[in-house]
Structure 1
Amino acid sequence: MALNKHSKRLTQDPSQPASQAMLYAVGLTDEDMNKPQIGIASTGYDGNPCNMHLNNLAQEIKKYANLNDQVGLTFNTIGVSDGISMGTSGMNYSLASRDIIADSMETVVNAQSYDGLIGVVGCDKNMPGAIIAMLRLNRPSIMVYGGTIASGKYKGRKLNIVSAFEALGQKVAGEIDETEYREIIKAAIPGAGACGGMYTANTMASSIECMGLALPYNSSIPAENPNKLSEAERTAQAMKNLLELDLKPKDIVTKKSIENAVAIVNALGGSTNAVLHYLAIAYAADIDFTLEDFQRVSDRTPLIADLKPSGKYLMEDVHGVGGTPAIMKYLLEEGYLHGDCMTVTGKTLAENLADVKAMEFEDQDVVFPTDKALKSSGNLQILYGNLAEKGAVAKISGNEGLKFEGRAVVYDGEQAANTGISNGEVNRGDVVVIRYVGPKGGPGMPEMLKPTSLIMGAGLGKSVALITDGRFSGGTHGFVVGHITPEAQDGGLIGLVETGDTITISAEDNSITLQVSEQEIAERKAKWIQPPLKHNKGILFKYAKSVASASEGCVTDKY
């Protein structure tokens, strides 16, 4: 079987002389014209520690691809730094960047007739964007994660990106002075790599490895570990094997393999963003996977890792206790994963894990056995009720309790919430409501890490709840509910809540309820007027006009 079944339409077709002339111009030889061409797509750019090292990794992969009878051809696509844009209007572009990344990778690979795709990615939206593109293209593909960052250190304690956000709340509360605040900021992030806890980047990296589209250990080898560059050779060899087997993403991504991904998200205490991304991944793969499937997998999967943001440890500590494969092997042995799912190695998940050293629980408290699980079910819970008729996503680690009822304090937008929280408008027992920040209303469904970090930094984390039609960062912790649908912009009930109303959130029966009479709700609905979109041109206008709801994964190609 020809391994260059797509590129040969350019390199072998005598009616394509201009195509061939241009390929000779970029340095291809006669011998190269018979080899498969592999697009190596990097989301590398200088302005973000998560991405600053990716172009070097892409070049290393290209070198080994060329040594393994392939023609590696690098190209770049965009990225948005969530950590940098958080709390600003720039965060409106974050979720939209996932679809731009998917669209651009799909565009280049199809337009250039590449035979395969290697996505070299770092920050939160890079990974699902690459996976969505791979599934649309359905050509041999591998995702390569750039790795987690090392921890920062200050006065003997480990720091990470969320330490910087929470330091602001501590300064506002008078717990630290300006000097200590600045020192924490300077020490929080020591170099290259994605944010260190089980935030969105590490959540997606570990779950994509478990789903089968990344090589074993890819998710847990830190960015600056010497073994990270050695993955380049493994990746090139694996791509050659995929081409020879004609093994494609839709052969790997199945309902069972997505269940594996969701299981490890819950076992590790991962980000609520995984819900949005796996709904979109399932849609790209033509797989029926819904919010109800998330709940089903969460119900049967215990939380066994004590990782930030709710716990103590970072992804570098997961690497230290055996890496993601050791945890996967344990989950497989305990019956929480499907071992017969195919992976990019050309072997099943069970075959990949057969020779992995078993997880040891003595002398470490990063990962616990299931009989000592931190929570008997997963941390991601899907809530319904009059406030979320089409669903909402809660992140409940167990540390916050299982039920919260309080007085609503309502803000139209994140900036108003940040100002209100900083000015002392939020008190113990309150439910902060941030609305008109959904996929359309935001637009772009920005993350609410700054307000939750202000709440945490002010010492209110266990006594205040926060709900929103926007998203939460993977770094968020506390009693939080996001992705509320219908969103306020679409006339959802969250847009009719008034300060002083009572809201009840229960992880016991997975409900979220506005305690207001049906008559009062009807009267408020009659007075509600839909506000205009916040943009009338450009990418955010296009996004708001095309995006599906959060309960459908915020895909932009559904209608």
Structure 2
Amino acid sequence: MDKINKFSKEITENKELPAAHAMLYAIGMKKSDFNKAQIGIVSNWYESNPCNIHLNKLSKEVKKSIINNNLIGFQINTIGISDGITMGTLGMRYSLPSREIIADSIESVISAHCYDGLIAIPGCDKNLPGVIMSIIRLNRPSIIIYGGSIYSGNYKGKKIDIISSFEALGKKNMNKISKKEYFNIVRKSCPGPGACGGMYTANTMASILEVMGMTLPFSSSYPANSIEKKLECKKVPFYIKKLLSNKIYPKDIITKKSIKNGIKLGICLGGSTNLVLHMLALAKTANIEISLKEIQKFSDQVPLIGNLKPSGSYLMEDIHSNIRGMPIIIKYLINNGIISGDCLTVTGKTLYENVKNVSDINFNKQNVIFSLKNPIKKNGHIRILYGNIAPEGSVAKITGIEGKNFVGKAKVFDSEEEANRCIFNNKIMQGTVIVIRYVGPKGAPGMPEMLKPTSYIMGSGLGKKVALITDGRFSGGSHGFVVGHISPEAQSGGLIALIKNDDIIKIDAENNKLILEVEEKEIEIRKKLWNPPPLKVKSGYLYKYSKLVSSASNGCITD
């Protein structure tokens, strides 16, 4: 049988590298270890975020099992940024750009040290696309272990989560709840470790990566603090060794068909609009053609069946407890022709082989997942809108609850902070289209999420009465009549930069149109008077990012 230490032998079996060998002896390796395959165990562990605080414990469980499978494992940390903690602050500008740092850092360490494979343990939102982008670049046997979702909080017998705390501020401001109730909701929203509980970005991407075959079955739905998550960590080294032995690489698993599966599952579950950015970036990294128009086509083809927050009622923990795990949903969608079951996975088996023996979904005993015959919405909630405001596209999340059309007068803000102050001080009238611009990938820079203004809007009871459009993006927790990712962005001279207060804006989610109803002659006059504002940063990482980043319509990649 061929050796499985294909890359590490470049160091361990090279007799002209005595210093390297001396250093390996110094960290505890024995002579007999030099012919073993080496696995990088990468986690996004850090203490200041519940999504990530437990990942080092999971990494240690993996390392124990690595040794038992006659492999060498090295624990490695990369960075993370807490979206929840930075939301609404200037720190949020670093969230999306952190995806590139994560991918670059993992690629650097695994390549430089000639590791034979990779086990990645991400937790928060940008962790997941960051690690999968590095895995595609490296193309070495790899498996992802999702850090898992948080359990729900509880207030007065009702399940609450992180979005409850954001929306509570709007309710307190409208005197719908007391200061004491507000404090108790905030204090009880996050009871422990794990990623934010709804079908927000982390859980959306975890579900997508499972159906794409890059995790073991059930990884996306095992809660962070569950015994099943620990057992998953013990199982993974067996499968990484199998991938090494059978020469199964990420690009054998990540194909156009598996990417389609991922997008379709994300849409069926009502996933975050961030899936659009990340799937475009993932596909680009794999040299696979996926366009915004194709994503719209997928959304037209599949129904919304996930009754999951933020637009629905349930959390990821309910998929674990009520449905008995993501594979039950995947099996149902395969059997009904929504997704393809013949794609290869990290188990060495096909997706269908992984799920064929799980139980069938029961629609009589739960309301978490609806049947395809009685969906929440007959087609997907992801809408790619075009028009004079967004000639290169924009992304809306329309479940139907908020309506399908909105026409209103523009109220324009050149920063999120301005908009938040106005919304919080109850200065937004019904029928307004809030415009937040210069918050795109170049303009912010970093394309921060607009969860704070959308949460204020929902908490204030204006969810169906105002709309919001932006060249920024939205958290998976955002809901309401919102349109983001507008391309070209304001900083690049997109039409969003030319909108004035009281201009009429039309949002048509049935015909996928986003229109500024201003005469072309007037638009041309405004174009001649417009000059790009100076970049908000002059040095550092965000400056470099603003110079390299592509538009949102191309996934905000820096390659």
Please name the residue that 1:148 is paired with. Answer: 149
Q: CA deviation at 1:296?
A: 1.2
Residues 223-238 of structure 1: pairs in structure 2 closer than 5 A: 223-238=224-239
Q: CA deviation at 1:448?
A: 0.1
Please name the residue that 1:413 is paired with. Answer: 415
Partner Cα separation in structure 2 for residue 441 and residue 473 of structure 1: 18
Partner Cα separation in structure 2 for residue 427 and residue 523 of structure 1: 29
1:334 partnered with 2:372? no
Please name the residue that 1:283 is paired with. Answer: 284
Partner Cα separation in structure 1 for residue 232 and residue 420 of structure 2: 42
Residues 120-131 of structure 1: pairs in structure 2 closer than 5 A: 120-131=121-132
Residues 167-186 of structure 1: pairs in structure 2 closer than 5 A: 167-186=168-187
Percent identity between the aligned chains?
A: 56
Residues 172-211 of structure 1: pairs in structure 2 closer than 5 A: 172-211=173-212
Please name the residue that 1:5 is paired with. Answer: 6
Give the residue type in structure 2 aligned to 1:173: M
Please name the residue that 1:520 is paired with. Answer: 522
Q: Any runs of at least 4 consecutive aligned residues in structure 1 with deviations exceeding 2 A, and if so which? A: none
Residues 369-384 of structure 1: pairs in structure 2 closer than 5 A: 369-384=371-386
Deviation sequence 1:334-372 (CA, Å, 0-9, x none):
101011111111111111111111111111111011111
Partner Cα separation in structure 2 for residue 441 and residue 76 of structure 1: 30
Deviation sequence 1:366-392 (CA, Å, 0-9, x none):
101111100011111111000000000
Deviation sequence 1:55-85 (CA, Å, 0-9, x none):
0100110110111121010110100000000
Deviation sequence 1:462-514 (CA, Å, 0-9, x none):
11111100010000001110000000000000011111001001111001000
Please name the residue that 1:510 is paired with. Answer: 512
Q: Secondary structure at the match of 1:33?
A: helix
Please name the residue that 1:454 is paired with. Answer: 456
Partner Cα separation in structure 2 for residue 406 and residue 482 of structure 1: 17
Q: CA deviation at 1:120?
A: 0.6
Please name the residue that 1:399 is paired with. Answer: 401
Q: Secondary structure at the match of 1:190?
A: coil
Q: Secondary structure at the match of 2:501?
A: coil
Please name the residue that 2:21 is paired with. Answer: 20
Please name the residue that 1:89 is paired with. Answer: 90
Partner Cα separation in structure 2 for residue 298 and residue 494 of structure 1: 25
Q: Secondary structure at the match of 1:220?
A: coil
Q: CA deviation at 1:428?
A: 1.3
Q: Secondary structure at the match of 1:409?
A: strand
Deviation sequence 1:101-128 (CA, Å, 0-9, x none):
0000000000100001111110000000
Partner Cα separation in structure 1 for residue 330 and residue 431 of structure 2: 39
1:296 partnered with 2:266? no
Partner Cα separation in structure 2 for residue 255 and residue 400 of structure 1: 33
Q: Identify which of 361, 364, 381 aligns with 2:363.
A: 361
Give the residue type in structure 2 aligned to 1:549: S
Q: Secondary structure at the match of 2:486?
A: coil
Please name the residue that 1:554 is paired with. Answer: 556
Give the residue type in structure 2 aligned to 1:211: M
Deviation sequence 1:411-433 (CA, Å, 0-9, x none):
11100000011122211111111
Deviation sequence 1:34-56 (CA, Å, 0-9, x none):
11100011101110000000001
Give the residue type in structure 1 aligned to 2:317: E
Give the residue type in structure 2 aligned to 1:380: I
Residues 53-132 of structure 1: pairs in structure 2 closer than 5 A: 53-132=54-133
Q: Secondary structure at the match of 1:370?
A: coil
Partner Cα separation in structure 1 for residue 205 and residue 12 of structure 2: 36
Q: Identify which of 463, 466, 470 aligns with 1:464.
A: 466
Deviation sequence 1:293-321 (CA, Å, 0-9, x none):
11111111110110000000000001111
Give the residue type in structure 2 aligned to 1:342: L
Partner Cα separation in structure 1 for residue 123 and residue 260 of structure 2: 23
Gaps of 5+ in 2: none
Give the residue type in structure 2 aligned to 1:274: L
Q: Identify which of 495, 499, 502 aligns with 2:501.
A: 499
Q: Secondary structure at the match of 1:182?
A: helix
Q: Secondary structure at the match of 1:345?
A: coil
Please name the residue that 2:481 is paired with. Answer: 479
Give the residue type in structure 1 aligned to 2:419: A
Cα RMSD for the two superposed structures: 0.7
Q: Secondary structure at the match of 2:392?
A: strand
Partner Cα separation in structure 2 for residue 423 and residue 169 of structure 1: 10
1:544 partnered with 2:553? no
Q: CA deviation at 1:161?
A: 0.3
Q: Secondary structure at the match of 1:96?
A: helix
Q: Identify which of 384, 387, 391 aligns with 1:385.
A: 387
Please name the residue that 2:354 is paired with. Answer: 352
Partner Cα separation in structure 1 for residue 311 and residue 19 of structure 2: 57
Q: Identify which of 490, 493, 498 aligns with 2:492.
A: 490
Q: Secondary structure at the match of 1:269?
A: coil
Partner Cα separation in structure 2 for residue 271 and residue 53 of structure 1: 24
Partner Cα separation in structure 2 for residue 200 and residue 121 of structure 1: 13
Deviation sequence 1:500-546 (CA, Å, 0-9, x none):
00100111100100000000100000000100111111000011000
Residues 220-259 of structure 1: pairs in structure 2 closer than 5 A: 220-259=221-260
Gaps of 5+ in 1: none
Q: Secondary structure at the match of 2:487?
A: coil
Partner Cα separation in structure 1 for residue 342 and residue 420 of structure 2: 48
Q: CA deviation at 1:100?
A: 0.3
Please name the residue that 1:431 is paired with. Answer: 433
Q: Secondary structure at the match of 1:531?
A: coil
Give the residue type in structure 2 aligned to 1:147: G
Give the residue type in structure 1 aligned to 2:545: Y
Please name the residue that 1:315 is paired with. Answer: 316
Q: CA deviation at 1:177?
A: 1.7
Partner Cα separation in structure 2 for residue 499 and residue 142 of structure 1: 50
Deviates more, 1:354-363 or 1:50-59: 354-363
